Structure 1
Amino acid sequence: MRIISGICRGRKLTPLKGPDIRPTSDRIKETLFNILGPKVRHAQVLDLFAGTGALGLEALSRGAAHTVFVDRSETACDIIRQNINRCGFPAQATVVRQDLFSPGTHAAIVCRQFDLIFLDPPYDNGYVLKTLEQKNPASFLSENGIIVAEHAAHEMLPSSLNGLDIFRQKKYSRTTISFLTRTQDIA
């Protein structure tokens, strides 16, 4: 697992180990960042279910201003911190250990507006839909902000939910990447 572009291109990241770990492939990562294009530069980024932090670190490598990484696992948060330091981004990163489905939301999330939100939970648990329904990420998405949700190809998302609309989807064999924005931002 590595950073594929930007100032940290080629930098290897410390991986997480475990049966439920499914890192985003380089091919998918490259495609999704090509679709996002210049929206990454100077962006405020939220990386939910961050795992190793690979998506948020890729955004920082490509010029994002700041990334908040959220994961419920202490081990994952430790690895994210290692990877942040390995890439030289400690001043541009915040790591939050939180189970998104426990009551309350950390101040580092609710006190900000994010230009990009990565939502990459374990597959086959319905976490993408559950997050969109229960946490209402549209409320902390900036004007013209984008949510990038990676989910199993068989997990269907409604085209509109909680003030968000899917404006693009990219399908791979086992994976779908859904791009969402606030309903009023679609022109």
Structure 2
Amino acid sequence: MTLRIYGNRQLKTIPGKDTRPTSARVRQAVFNIWQGKIPGCRWLDLCAGTGSMGAEALCRGASLVVGIEQSSRACNIIQENWQRVAHADQEWKVLRGNVLQQLKTLSGKQFDRIYFDPPYASGLYQPVLEAIAQYQLLDSEGEIAAEHSSQDWTPPVIPNWEICRQKAYGSIALTFYNAVE
């Protein structure tokens, strides 16, 4: 299967159902919401899958994109995709492994935009969002978008964060968080 992103660029995907690429409709919505905030930003792509969100951020001018993905097969595809779309002045890195363990290695770094799209029934929402807060990975002016099912989902409550918007796109929904003073 092939996937197209911003600028009609084609990305590779993994055959089968090991990953669930973010739909074109949801990708477009995220980048419309964050319009004007992507050029020069530091982007973190959690549970990156095929890396389509990070690739889109690179195409739209992010200065740094870091992806975390557990599947080695998916990591190879992400690297191919990002290498194909990145410019020489953009930095990118793919970290393979458990998302909670890899977040700890990023302690001390901050990101302007974080996209989090785990398997919906994984139980990762609360611990990952708490880890992002604990390691202070979200810039004070940054936002997180958590993709989830539009059915049967309770947004985690994270101290010093608020939900700034929620959007539904059929069976998929997004909850956006930012830090509060």
Provide TM-score, normalisation by structure 2: 0.89
Task: Return 138-147 or 168-177, whichever deviates more.
Answer: 138-147
Q: 1:104 to 1:70 in 2, by over 3 A?
A: closer
Contact 2:68 2:102 in 1 (8 A): no
Contact 2:58 2:86 in 1 (8 A): no
Contact 1:128 1:151 in 2 (8 A): no
- Map of 2:99 onto structure 1: 100
- Map of 1:161 onto structure 2: 158
- Map of 1:56 onto structure 2: 54
Matched ranges for 1:1-187 at <5 A: 1-4=3-6, 9-89=7-87, 91-102=90-101, 105-106=104-105, 109-136=106-133, 139-154=136-151, 155-158=153-156, 160-184=157-181
Which one has the bigger strand percentage? 2
Q: Deviation per CA, 1:102-155, whole angstroms, max 9, x where unpaired?
A: 48722xx22311000110111122322331134436711112101011011122
Q: 1:113 to 1:135 in 2, by over 3 A?
A: closer
Q: 1:51 to 1:103 in 2, by over 3 A?
A: closer
Q: Aligned-pair distance for 1:156? A: 1.8
State the one-letter code of the partner of 1:3.
I
Distance 2:12 2:26 in 1: 19
> What SS is found at the alignment partner of 1:101?
helix
Contact 1:138 1:162 in 2 (8 A): no
Distance 2:134 2:51 in 1: 19
**Which residues of structure 2 form unaligned runs of 5+?**
none
Distance 1:70 1:104 in 2: 8
**Count of residues in correspondence between the two structures:** 177
Q: Deviation per CA, 1:66-122, whole angstroms, max 9, x where unpaired?
A: 10111111111111111012214475211111202348722xx22311000110111
Provide TM-score, normalisation by structure 1: 0.86
**Which residues of structure 1 form unaligned runs of 5+?**
none
Distance 1:78 1:175 in 2: 26
